[in-house]
Amino acid sequence: MKNAKKEIKDCHGKPIVNNSGAGVKVKDEKKYQILRRLKLIEGQIRGLHQMIEKDTYCIDVITQTSAVKQGLSNVEDLLLEHHLGHCVLKQVAEGQTEKAKAEILKVYKLKRK
């Protein structure tokens, strides 16, 4: 069974039928914030590429990579806030406390890395 596809689930644990990879249903305002930040990060990455091409001073490049990492961390925080505030709370409300607890611990471990 090498060719068997892994079942992809949304943040509520329900299978995603189209397997498009979509599983994060984020409210419009939060989605706007995330997409805006990702566009900024995308621009920073392009800037990094140009800095390397132009042999920019290493510390300046490192400063920019640090800004990119912080930007990604901010995106991650928004996604985690949504997940904990929506998906995990829904699991608790539906009586799936063990699943909710496991996801909270998973988030905690991910943020410690």
Task: List, for residues 1-52, the tens digit of each pLDDT value.
Answer: 444 555 555 565 665 444 444 455 667 788 899 999 999 999 999 999 999 9
Q: Residue 72 maps to which CATH number?
A: 1.20.58.1000
| DSSP letter (8 states) at residue 87 | I
50-85 b/e with 16+ CB inside 10 Å = b? ebeeeeeeeeebeebeeebeebeeebeeebeebbee
Is 73 domain-assigned? yes
Per the domain annotation, does 16 fall within a domain?
no
Query: Is residue 23, in this structure, part of any structural domain at all?
Result: no
2 part of a folded domain: no
User: According to the model, what pLDDT value does residue 22 have?
Assistant: 40
How far apart, in whole angstroms, are the C-alpha atoms of residue 32 and residue 14?
25
Express each pLDDT in 52-65 by its tens digit: 999 999 999 999 99
**pLDDT(77) > 60:** yes
**One-letter identity of residue 70:** Q
Q: How much is the pLDDT for 67?
A: 97
Q: Number of structural domains, the chain?
A: 1
Q: Is residue 13 part of a domain?
A: no
Question: Is residue 70 pLDDT above 60, yes or no?
Answer: yes
Task: Give, as one character, the DSSP assignment of residue 96.
Answer: -
Residue 52 lies in a domain: yes
Residues 6 or more apart from 109 whose CB is under 8 A from it?
A: none
Using CA atoms, how far apart are residues 42 and 31, in angstroms rounded to an integer? 16
Q: Tell me which residue range forms the domain holding 63.
A: 28-112
Residues 15 and 9 sit within 8 Å (Cβ to Cβ) = yes
**Residue 97 resides in a domain:** yes
User: Is 1 domain-assigned?
Assistant: no
